[in-house]
Copies of this chain bind each other. A is one copy, B any other.
């Protein structure tokens, strides 16, 4: 019997998964949570075999929750279930310890396939995810946040619409210091062109 917990804030999708699994003799749902914290509580109490994990959830996101499960409940395996197909999302979930990654654009039946594969000790990745994202070596090079603490703070302020001189005033530094940080971020992130740093700040999907 494979025990499954589901973390997903769209209740309509949770209900659909429940309908899918209710007639499966080898799978039982032992809990459902609409946010990351509630999910961790469920894992504490029940240590399910599998967690189906959304990424963007209230209170605690899926990457953070996955890291905690990997650290404290290593027998529980996480399958990411997300609308995000971007490289950043995939690599972060894999590095956090997820054994699978499914896209919500795919048929619901894939959830069944993934649960059974991962419960057998295999990994299971949606066929729409580029295979090179799943290479261990690729992951290693992107494992750490490449931005420094100051850079990340400035990025948040940029995302809030603060100008460079406003940020300088907030941080008690010269304008040129903030501009230098900006240049460093642009270089590190491989961006180019006006507004790209602001776009990046606004499009960052995970505020980790």
Chain A residues with a Cβ under 8 A of chain B: 9-13, 15-17, 19-20, 81, 83, 102, 104-111, 161, 163, 193-196, 198-199, 202-203
Contacts and interface: CB of A to CB of B under 8 A. Distances in A.
Contacts of A106: 11-12
Contacts of A194: 163
Contacts of A109: 15
A105 B202 contact: no
* This chain's copy number in the assembly: 2
Given A198-B199, A202-B199, A108 B161 contact: no
Nearest to A164: B194
B10 A161 contact: no
Contacts of A81: 12
A106 B16 CA distance: 12
A120 B36 CA distance: 40
- Choose among A11, A20, A163 the residue with the greatest number of B CB atoms under 10 Å from its CB: A11
Closest 10 interchain pairs by CB?
A16-B16, A15-B108, A19-B19, A10-B104, A12-B108, A202-B202, A12-B104, A195-B198, A11-B107, A13-B13
A100 to B, nearest CB: 14
22 contacts: A9-B105, A10-B104, A10-B105, A11-B105, A11-B107, A12-B81, A12-B105, A12-B107, A12-B108, A12-B110, A13-B16, A15-B107, A15-B109, A16-B16, A19-B19, A19-B20, A161-B195, A163-B194, A163-B195, A199-B202, A202-B202, A202-B203
A81 B10 CA distance: 12
